[in-house]
Amino acid sequence: MTGPGEVRCMLMRGGTSKGAYFLAGDLPADPGLRDGLLLRIMGSPDPRQIDGLGGAHPLTSKVAVISRSDDPEVDVDYLFLQVAVDSPDVTDRQNCGNILAGVGPFAVERGLVAARDGVTSVRIRMRNTGELAVATFPTPGGRVDYTGSVEISGVPGAAAPVLIEFPAGDRPLLPTGNVRDTVAGTSVTCVDNGMPTVLIAARALNVTGYEDPVALEDDPVLADRLHGIRLEAGRLMGLGDVEGTTVPKLSLLAQPRNGGAVMTRTFIPVRCHTSIGVLGAASVAAGLRVPGSVGEGIARLPARGDRIRVEHPTGFLDIDTSVDPGSGRTPPVARRTAVVRTARKIFDGSVFPRSAGTPPQLFGGNDGSAPR
């Protein structure tokens, strides 16, 4: 039981992200009231998120809203919400495959799914897009076990594996219908294998693709070019005006340096990811398997098997992806996508949001600066 002003919450690391997980019934049903509450819980808008759970970065300002599904073929529904750090915005325009890694364990922890003695699989509907995923993880004795020996880049230590499989969806892999498009004067490949993503050769933007993320973020010329590409690509991909949204993502491609298939630098959409999102990596991997994409001549694809190693600033992410390349009359289709991630429960209890009457400007300057 929670008291007045308290909201039941579980903070979890999912993959290389961290977020607050809620049962849908513990939040207001009205989206406006829900989003206002989440802003106060996370401490936004404030560049430091000093008065909430957020970690002052998009990767640590995320929310999962979970409910039992009314679909007999699905166990739980998962709504992902990205809470902006320094603006009063909450968006559901994208999925998050990292936060997805914690959804199955959370569903078991909250009693939405009965665990088996050994391993448990949870069928998840991602409400942001309607797509499905199946998460499988260890549950010895019918309890979630977060300990294990699986290491993933960007996360210290090791944890139990969470295998996430994505059944083939019915959305086109190439949303524009073309293997390549010229967008804002730049050759790109637009892909959607779970995350709308624009693939760009780093050299086409006069960078190497090996730079530190902060250096790329601080390049005003690059920022202007990426902004123009994103706006035009968004319209071509059927996403409309993406000025105020977090999709599509932009992934710069360079030749691999550490034995993988490709090196990436991904913008989400303005900050440069310190690693890469699961669904973004799934789209990159699928795009590399399409003959004639911008990755051709850059990527070094494995001779056998479905696994593609996507390198990123802090390591790599392995994605199993098979693509039917299609023919002149039939478009390419993603047949299978799977990834191993880890997740960990950090705390479970009640969060106390700041008062609804507290003016946001008290927690950050109007110009985005920290208060003096």
Residue 16 falls inside a structural domain: yes
Enter the pTM of the model: 0.79
- What is the pLDDT averaged over residues 332-351? 95
Looking at the structure, tell me whether residues 84 and 122 fall in a common domain.
yes
Looking at the structure, tell me whether residues 18 and 77 fall in a common domain.
yes
pLDDT score for 305: 85
pLDDT score for 94: 87
Q: How far apart are CA 92 and CA 90, in angstroms?
A: 7
Mean pLDDT of the chain: 93
- What is the pLDDT averaged over residues 60-89? 97
Looking at the structure, tell me whether residues 89 and 117 fall in a common domain.
yes
Residue 197 binned pLDDT confidence (cut-offs 50, 70, 90): very high
Domain range holding 259?
A: 181-330
CATH code of the domain in which 258 resides: 3.10.310.10
Residue 176 falls inside a structural domain: no
pLDDT score for 134: 97
Looking at the structure, tell me whether residues 155 and 13 fall in a common domain.
yes
- Which has the closest alpha carbon to 90: 116, 56, 63, 109? 63
pLDDT score for 359: 58
Q: Return the percentage of the chain with pLDDT > 90, whole number.
A: 85
Residue 322 falls inside a structural domain: yes
pLDDT score for 368: 38
Looking at the structure, tell me whether residues 121 and 241 fall in a common domain.
no
Looking at the structure, tell me whether residues 79 and 162 fall in a common domain.
yes
Q: What is the pLDDT of residues 40-66, one digit of tens each?
A: 999 999 999 999 999 999 999 999 999
Looking at the structure, tell me whether residues 45 and 143 fall in a common domain.
yes
Looking at the structure, tell me whether residues 210 and 291 fall in a common domain.
yes
Residue 163 falls inside a structural domain: yes
Q: Comparing 9-13, 183-187, 282-286, 325-329, which segment has the lowest mean pLDDT? A: 325-329
- What is the pLDDT averaged over residues 258-273? 94
- What is the pLDDT averaged over residues 130-157? 95
Q: How far apart are CA 244 and CA 267, in angstroms?
A: 14
Residue 372 falls inside a structural domain: no
pLDDT score for 360: 54
Residue 301 falls inside a structural domain: yes
Looking at the structure, tell me whether residues 159 and 193 fall in a common domain.
no
Are the CB atoms for 246 and 82 separated by under 8 Å? yes
Q: What is the pLDDT of residues 62-72, one digit of tens each?
A: 999 999 999 99
* Residue 308 pLDDT greater than 60, yes or no: yes
Residue 164 binned pLDDT confidence (cut-offs 50, 70, 90): very high
Q: How far apart are CA 273 and CA 261, in angstroms?
A: 18
Reduced 3-state DSSP string for the chain: CCCCCCEEEEEEEECCEEEEEEEHHHCCCCHHHHHHHHHHHHCCCCCCCCCCCCCCCHHHCEEEEEEECCCCCCCEEEEEEEECCCCCCEECCCCCHHHHCCHHHHHHHCCCCCCCCEEEEEEEEECCCCEEEEEEEEEHHHCCCCCCCECCCCCCCCECEEEEEECCCCCCCCCCCCCCEEECCEEEEEEECCCEEEEEEHHHHCCCCCCCHHHHHCCHHHHHHHHHHHHHHHHHCCCCCCCCCCCCEEEEEECCCCCCCEEEEEECCCCECCCCCHHHHHHHHHHHCCCCCCCCCCCCCCCCCCEEEEEECCEEEEEEEEEECCCCCCCCEEEEEEEEEEEEEEEEEEECCCCCCCCHHHHCCCCCCCCC
Residue 150 falls inside a structural domain: yes
Are the CB atoms for 121 and 114 separated by under 8 Å? no
pLDDT score for 186: 98
Residue 53 falls inside a structural domain: yes
Q: Number of folded domains in the chain?
A: 2
Looking at the structure, tell me whether residues 158 and 233 fall in a common domain.
no
* Residue 166 pLDDT greater than 80, yes or no: yes
Q: What is the pLDDT of residues 356-372, one digit of tens each?
A: 876 555 444 333 333 33
Looking at the structure, tell me whether residues 30 and 154 fall in a common domain.
yes
pLDDT score for 361: 52
- Measured in residues, the chain has a length of 372
Q: What is the pLDDT of residues 229-264, one digit of tens each?
A: 999 999 999 999 999 888 999 999 999 999 999 999
* Residue 185 pLDDT greater than 60, yes or no: yes
Looking at the structure, tell me whether residues 156 and 190 fall in a common domain.
no
Are the CB atoms for 249 and 82 separated by under 8 Å? no
